[in-house]
Amino acid sequence: MAPAPQFRVAELFAGVGGFRLGLKKAGWTVVWSNQWEPSTKAQHASDCYVEHFGEDRHVCDDIAKVVQGPQSESILDHELLVGGFPCQDYSVAKPLAQAAGIQGKKGVLWWSIYDMLALKRPPFVLLENVDRLLKSPATQRGRDFAIILSCLAQLGYVAEWRVVNAADYGFPQRRRRVFLYAHRLDHCGYQWKPMTRLYVDGVMAKALPVSKAGIKSVLEAEAALPQEPDIELDANPYVVSETFGIGLKTSPFANAGVMIEGRVWTRVVTPIYRGKKQTLGDVVGRTEHVPESYFVSGDRVDTWAYQKGPKSEPRIDKKTGHEYFYSEGGMAFPDPLDRPARTILTGEGGTSASRFKHIIADPKTGRLRRLIPEELEELNGFPRGWTDTGMSDGRRAFMMGNALVVGVVERIGRAIKKEAEACLLQKATDNAREAATDT
């Protein structure tokens, strides 16, 4: 009798547990996790994670040291590796060595993901980042993302990505993030056709449908003849680091794409969603009590209005003394309750007036106020009170600025699980066929 299938997850850069919450709802089990904030003694995110999930197989230490040191033996085998890692400079520090692999800049977390993939060889990978990753750095547009795709190809993975605005799929926050899914080539084989994968049967297409208007002829042609790639990446990530994107004013990577053995197909896709759409007002309407400190006093309203309003004025650089002209457009003030919220940023907390913090007219009193931590949590799909684990309200807001939308992870996690189940079925079929041939 075949062993029961396992759907185990290792979670890197776990934060306060958004990936874990979404994947649990999708049928996955996290068996190992890591969260560590450098340059600070207090580990608020890790403490919050442990408060909810326990400390068994949770490591609060520098992931680079963990993966490359004795602690790597504590990392359990897993089918899916996940992580939301910071957008940094991913340039390769030196060429490939015959046995040593690649070396990136110190302190850059992508290389810890690379080391983890090389060490544990999970069949599936799901990563999340800000959409800026697709076009950074400014001097070589798209280079950083190209390096990541090149590394995945070198390690034997095919991949697909999608820039997702959570509000496009009914969630109450306009939060844009790029999700990158990778599948190990030798796990159960693959028959990916790039355009079909991108629009019809890929993990992203199934989890987060897009419009297929105008592509019928492309899909029909692809059934007979493979589409030519838009980009061909060098097999050496060092070469990609040195050459990709030089002279480009815009990134060649669109908001969706597929990578197969270093060949890349990329398109601009349009989300399709016909379900109920949640708004900021839906979330705020569930709030029963707001502390007085969150309301804006009458003498501070003008300051908030200035921060939110349009500006066209001379200013002086404090460092150089140089006078320059500053201008920016206005923002809605207060934030409308009949639409999804703007993106929560890490600076959302605190009482000081800010252009980027949310200000609403409280539906019960009509008074202007900031959003409370519980509302920020719900806007990301966390249960209310999730971060109430001993940290300040400002720190709780910071955590939500760093978090992801749980429901988006759940949808993608379900699609990956179905792909994993299909792989298991294919393996069982192939094994049965081989057994029958042997007899």
| Residues identified as active-site | 87
Residues 351, 371 contacting (CB under 8 angstroms): no
CA distance 235 to 217: 32
Task: Please list the residues that pair with 327 across neighbouring strands.
Answer: 312
What three-state secondary structure class fits 413? helix
Question: Residue 225 carries which DSSP code?
Answer: S
Cβ-proximal residues to 237 (8 Å cutoff; 6+ apart), any chain: 92, 96, 102, 147, 150, 151, 154
CA distance 152 to 155: 5
Alpha helices by DSSP H, listed for 26-124, are 44-53, 63-68, 110-120
Question: Residue 86 carries which DSSP code?
Answer: -
Q: What angle do CA 57, 62, 68 make, to 5 degrees?
A: 85
What three-state secondary structure class fits 224? helix
Task: Please list the residues that pair with 103 across neighbouring strands.
Answer: 94
